[in-house]
């Protein structure tokens, strides 16, 4: 809280100093793209993430092996033409399983990001715009920030896995559960950042002007406040994807996430650990996939942050993750 | 400052109460029967008696208040008694939070597991700080140098690669291929002489490395940006313009000021490292608090899960408080009203 009080004037000064994108939309967009291009890490990150996404989405058309097909006579094989990354102890194709797992991992990441972003943005906009809601909502956020996320995630998935599975089916139940718990426990940073931005925007002349011609709060929020608060939301979105992928794989690694029949990258890694001495590549490939994806998204997020906030280039406190 | 501290402390109480309620309610109202794991041959009447003996007969609010009383009054009293060797009131008849799996008080279980966790977490955090702060400072001082570029890349990697992957890779390399380090942490090992100390250091090396890499990445990222922020301040330019020697400028003007946010971040990061230790303990089979939690979750030992989770939450609240107060003490510019 102390940090907030100190940071608030700095944030409003920054917002007032440079024209927020929106004053000249085209020029601002061009400037952002120009600054992003000078950030080699961000471009590389975007390229790698796109490549990973394309591979997991369309890879099965090129590599048409069924990830569930058991071939006991070809178990624990090394790399070959038929099985580019070898097979596991039941003779399933590692590369096909990696592609299928990646689809699930990325889906969890994107869905959890969407949920956490929605909650975070709504809470942030409401508490920044309506003074009366600010106190209660921020206390609520502080409460969530003090929750021990990993233990709670473990407990909730453990307790609600069976009932949700029974109600919604095997894959859908666990997917909704994991996405739900990750989304609900990761919106707080977004809410705080958005609130700060909205507080700064609310004090600007165009909001006063809109209010003086009788615009209703909802219209001011949707037409004036939200579009101008978009850049920190975009940055939070990228970083949230990375965080959600990590959290999901950590849960799966503890055996509390997805089951082996619908493995994500984390679960593949977990299933590979007992065979570490026999086939270490079963751990290496999913681990590399997670690391590469998260790394590329983080680089992209960093670059976007620098590009969208030119006054804070290169020296700006990164968001501290609680995990 | 004192008034702020007291207000902050008072605010921590409702926070903790709310968290304890969330933790208790989540576990208590969840579907599932604690006697479900017992053999099917037990007749229903006995099963009902077992449920009664576990304290499940009473309504939810009563159980919550009694759990609070046991955890917040009885356990601290017991702790004081053990530490000071005295007896306060009726110490035999006082109810304690006991595990359903082992029937022993949960706090005793935690006390058995805590030393292992504390050793690994404490040493790794210390290592992380010792590495991260100098790296961060030098990276900022020589911004865009090769050292900075490489350092930033490595911290980004340490920040992005999950600990369970670094851990397993280290096991493959150091235990599998090279055979230098044991892959399983032996908690029964006692340090008695130089050779056993050597073994202790060997078995701690990998878990400490894994946790330290992750914490160091966060701390050094933060240190770098804090020092960069300070380096751009007017008073640093003034100090240089006065002709002060560079070491004086760096140590007196830059470092002292940029360490204010870094110290608070170090305090804030400690509970995170504890939570991270859950995963590390799983990788290296360390018999610590995290392993206790995982075992309790798998065995549906609800009192243990509630207590350990609540202790994790208390750690977060406590270190948030420490960070806020440190910020106020270290930075006289911050004024609280």
Q: Which of A51-65, A136-150, A229-243, B183-197 has the lowest mean pLDDT?
A: B183-197
A79 touches chain B (CB under 8 A): no
Q: In chain B, which residue's Cα lies nearest the Cα of A300? A: B156
Distance CA A243, CA A234 (A): 14
Q: Cα-flanking dihedrals φ and ψ of residue B46, to 5°?
A: -60, -40
User: What is the pLDDT tens value at each position of chain B, 337 positions in all?
Assistant: 778 788 888 888 888 888 888 888 887 776 666 666 667 777 778 877 777 777 676 778 888 888 888 888 777 777 777 777 777 666 666 677 777 777 788 888 888 888 888 888 899 999 999 999 999 999 998 888 899 889 888 988 888 898 888 888 888 888 877 878 887 777 777 777 888 888 888 888 888 988 899 899 989 988 998 998 888 889 999 999 999 998 889 888 898 888 888 988 898 888 888 888 888 888 888 888 888 888 888 877 888 888 888 888 888 888 888 888 888 788 777 666 5
Asked if B160's CB is within 8 angstroms of A294's CB, the reply is: yes
Q: What is the dihedral of CA B143, B145, B147, B151, to 10 degrees?
A: 50
Q: Give me the residues of B, 275-334, that contact A with CB < 8 A.
A: 275-276, 278-279, 282, 293-294, 297-298, 305, 308-309, 312-313, 315-317, 320, 324, 327-328, 331, 334
Q: Are the beta carbons of B292 and B113 closer than 8 angstroms?
A: yes
A318 touches chain B (CB under 8 A): yes
| ipTM of the prediction | 0.81
User: Sorting pLDDT into bands at 50, 70 and 90, what band is A168?
Assistant: confident
DSSP H or E segment with residue B120: helix B106-141
Q: Cα-flanking dihedrals φ and ψ of residue B184, to 5°?
A: -115, 135
Give domain limits for chain A: 30-307
Looking at B113-240, which runs of residues are DSSP E strands?
Answer: none
Cβ-Cβ contacts under 8 Å between A and B: the total is 167
Exposure string for A96-123, b = 16+ CB within 10 A, e = fewer = bbbbbbbbbbbebbbbbbbbbbebbbeb
Distance CA A315, CA A149 (A): 29
Q: Which of A6-20, A63-77, A308-322 has the lowest mean pLDDT?
A: A6-20
pLDDT in tens, A255-297: 888 888 788 898 888 888 888 777 788 888 889 999 999 999 9
A320 touches chain B (CB under 8 A): yes
Say which CATH architecture domain A30-307 belongs to. Orthogonal Bundle (1.10)
pLDDT of residue A18: 45
Smallest CA–CA distance, residue A319 to chain B, in Å, is: 9
| Least CB–CB distance from B168: residue in A5, A145, A283 | A283
Distance CA A78, CA B215 (A): 36
Smallest CA–CA distance, residue A317 to chain B, in Å, is: 6
- Among candidates A305, A162, A296, which has minimal Cα distance to A233? A305
- Among candidates A29, A38, A52, which has minimal Cα distance to A286? A52
Distance CA A141, CA A132 (A): 15
Query: pTM for this structure?
Result: 0.82
Q: Give the single-character DSSP code of A22.
A: T
Smallest CA–CA distance, residue B248 to chain A, in Å, is: 22
Smallest CA–CA distance, residue B14 to chain A, in Å, is: 9
Smallest CA–CA distance, residue A74 to chain B, in Å, is: 24
User: Sorting pLDDT into bands at 50, 70 and 90, what band is A81?
Assistant: low
Distance CA A33, CA A212 (A): 35
Distance CA B167, CA B164 (A): 5
pLDDT of residue A96: 82
A212 touches chain B (CB under 8 A): no
Distance CA A201, CA A195 (A): 10
Number of other CB atoms surrounding residue B41 within 10 Å = 6
Number of other CB atoms surrounding residue B266 within 10 Å = 23
For residue A294, the chain B residues in CB contact (below 8 A) are: 160-162
| Least CB–CB distance from B272: residue in A294, A302, A322 | A322
């Amino acid at each position: 809280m102390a940090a907030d009080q100190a940071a608030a004037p700095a944030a409003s000064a920054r917002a007032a100093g440079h024209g927020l994108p929106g004053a000249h939309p085209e020029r601002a967009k061009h400037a952002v793209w120009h600054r992003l291009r000078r950030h080699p890490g961000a471009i590389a990150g975007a390229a790698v993430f796109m490549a990973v996404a394309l591979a997991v989405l369309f890879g099965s058309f090129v590599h048409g092996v069924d990830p569930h097909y058991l071939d006991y006579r070809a178990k624990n094989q090394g790399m070959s033409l038929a099985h580019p990354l070898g097979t596991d102890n039941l003779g399933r194709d590692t590369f096909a399983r990696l592609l299928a797992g990646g689809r699930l991992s990325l889906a969890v990441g994107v869905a959890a990001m969407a949920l956490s972003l929605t909650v975070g943005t709504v809470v942030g906009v409401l508490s920044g715009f309506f003074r009366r809601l600010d106190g209660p909502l921020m206390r609520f956020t502080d409460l969530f920030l003090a929750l021990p996320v990993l233990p709670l995630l473990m407990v909730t998935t453990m307790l609600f896995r069976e009932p949700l599975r029974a109600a919604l089916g095997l894959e859908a139940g666990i997917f909704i559960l994991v996405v739900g718990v990750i989304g609900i426990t990761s919106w707080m940073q977004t809410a705080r950042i958005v609130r700060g931005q909205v507080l700064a925007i609310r004090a600007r002349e165009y909001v006063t002007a809109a209010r003086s011609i009788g615009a209703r709060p909802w219209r001011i929020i949707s037409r004036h406040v939200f579009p101008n608060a978009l850049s920190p939301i975009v940055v939070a979105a990228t970083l949230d994807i990375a965080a959600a992928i990590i959290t999901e794989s950590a849960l799966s690694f503890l055996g509390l996430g997805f089951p082996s029949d619908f493995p994500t990258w984390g679960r593949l890694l977990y299933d590979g650990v007992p065979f570490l001495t026999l086939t270490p590549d079963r751990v290496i490939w999913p681990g590399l996939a997670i690391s590469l994806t998260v790394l590329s998204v983080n680089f992209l997020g960093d670059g976007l942050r620098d590009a969208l906030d030119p006054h804070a280039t290169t020296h700006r406190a990164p968001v501290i993750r609680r995990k | 400052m004192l008034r702020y501290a007291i207000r902050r402390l008072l605010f921590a109480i409702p926070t903790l109460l709310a968290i304890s309620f969330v933790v208790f309610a989540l576990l208590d109202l969840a579907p599932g029967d604690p006697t479900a794991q017992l053999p099917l041959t037990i007749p229903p009447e006995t099963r009902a008696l077992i449920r009664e003996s576990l304290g499940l007969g009473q309504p939810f609010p009563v159980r919550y208040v009694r759990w609070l009383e046991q955890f917040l009054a009885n356990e601290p009293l017991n702790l004081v008694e053990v530490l000071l060797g005295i007896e306060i009131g009726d110490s035999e008849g006082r109810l304690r939070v006991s595990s359903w799996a082992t029937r022993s008080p949960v706090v005793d279980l935690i006390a058995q597991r805590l030393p292992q966790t504390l050793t690994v977490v404490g040493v790794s955090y210390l290592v992380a700080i010792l590495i991260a702060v100098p790296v961060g400072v030098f990276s900022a001082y020589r911004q865009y140098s090769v050292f900075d570029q490489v350092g930033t890349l490595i911290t980004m990697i340490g920040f992005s690669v999950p600990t369970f992957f670094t851990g397993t890779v280290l096991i493959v390399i150091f235990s599998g291929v090279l055979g230098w380090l044991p892959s399983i942490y032996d908690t029964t090992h006692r340090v008695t002489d130089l050779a056993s100390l050597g073994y202790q250091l060997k078995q701690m090396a990998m878990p400490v490395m894994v946790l330290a890499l992750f914490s160091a990445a966060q701390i050094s990222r933060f240190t770098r940006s804090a020092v960069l922020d300070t380096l751009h301040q007017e008073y640093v330019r003034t100090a240089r313009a006065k002709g002060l020697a560079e070491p004086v400028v760096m140590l007196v003007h830059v470092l002292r000021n940029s360490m204010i946010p870094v110290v608070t971040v170090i305090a804030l990061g400690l509970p995170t490292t504890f939570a991270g230790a859950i995963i590390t303990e799983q990788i290296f089979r360390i018999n610590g608090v995290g392993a206790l939690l995982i075992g309790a979750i798998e065995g549906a030992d609800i009192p243990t899960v509630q207590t350990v989770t609540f202790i994790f939450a208390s750690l977060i609240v406590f270190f948030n408080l420490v960070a806020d107060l440190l910020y106020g003490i270290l930075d006289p510019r911050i004024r609280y009203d």
